Structure 1
C-alpha cells in the first residue's frame, strides 16, 4: 500500500470520527478514536511513537512523539485548535524529516467541516 492509499484511508476514518464526535474535544479524544478506527481497518498503527533527534551521530531522546504513524509510512499530526498555523506545519515537517517519511497529514478536528482542517504535507527527501 502506498502513501496516497494510506492517506485516503486515514482521511476517511478521520471524517467518521469527526462526524461522530464533532469539534470541541481535546486532541487526545480524537487521537484515541482515530487510532481505534485505523486499527479496525486492519492498518498497522503506532500512537505516540517516540522520535529521537540525531545530533553529531548521537541519538537523543528529546520528547518528540508522532501522534500516529500508519504503516510506518504516513505521519499523522492531530490538533484541536482555533486554526492551524506555521508552527503546526513545521512540527509535522520536523517529524517527517527526523524519520525520513515522505507524507504527513496535519488534521485539525476543531472545525465545522473536517475537510477544512486537513493539510497534506510532503517531504521532498
Structure 2
C-alpha cells in the first residue's frame, strides 16, 4: 500500500483514542527574531511530543533517520519513530530516535 494510506489509517486510530494529531504540516524555522515557513512536511506529530515518519520501503536508510532527526531538532520534539510498514513483522520496522534535552521547559 501507499505510505499515505498507512499514514491516514494511523491518524484515524490515534484520533479515535483522543490523541491530538497534526499531519503534513509545513515546518516553521525560527532563527533569533526571524522565522520562515519551509515546504518541509512531516508525516505525524502526536500530542506535540512524538514525531512519526511513516514508510513503506524495502529498507530504511540513514537519510530517513537524518530527516526525522532534523524535524525533531527544528521543532524541539524529544521523541521520534520511523514505522516501516513494508516489514513482515511490524515490530521489526520500528526505529526510535531520542533527542536529549528537547522540550525541557
1:39 aligned residue: 15
Describe how 1:1-125 pairs up with structure 2 within 5 A. 25-55=1-31, 57-125=33-101
Any unmatched runs of 5+ in structure 1?
1-24
Counterpart CA distance in 2 for 1:57 and 1:121 is: 29
For residues 31-60 of structure 1, give each alpha carbon's deviation from its aligned partner in whole angstroms, at most 9, with x where no partner exists: 000000000011111111221223564222
Counterpart CA distance in 2 for 1:111 and 1:57 is: 44
* Residue correspondences, number: 101
Q: TM-score, normalization: structure 1?
A: 0.76
Deviation at 1:96, TM superposition (A): 0.3
Higher helix proportion (structure 1 or 2): 1
Any unmatched runs of 5+ in structure 2?
none
For residues 82-121 of structure 1, give each alpha carbon's deviation from its aligned partner in whole angstroms, at most 9, with x where no partner exists: 1101000000000000000110111111111111110011
Counterpart CA distance in 2 for 1:56 and 1:82 is: 40
Q: TM-score, normalization: structure 2?
A: 0.89
Higher strand proportion (structure 1 or 2): 2
Residue 10 of structure 2 aligns to a residue in which SS? Answer: helix
1:74–1:102 contact (8 Å) kept in structure 2: yes
Counterpart CA distance in 1 for 2:37 and 2:55 is: 23
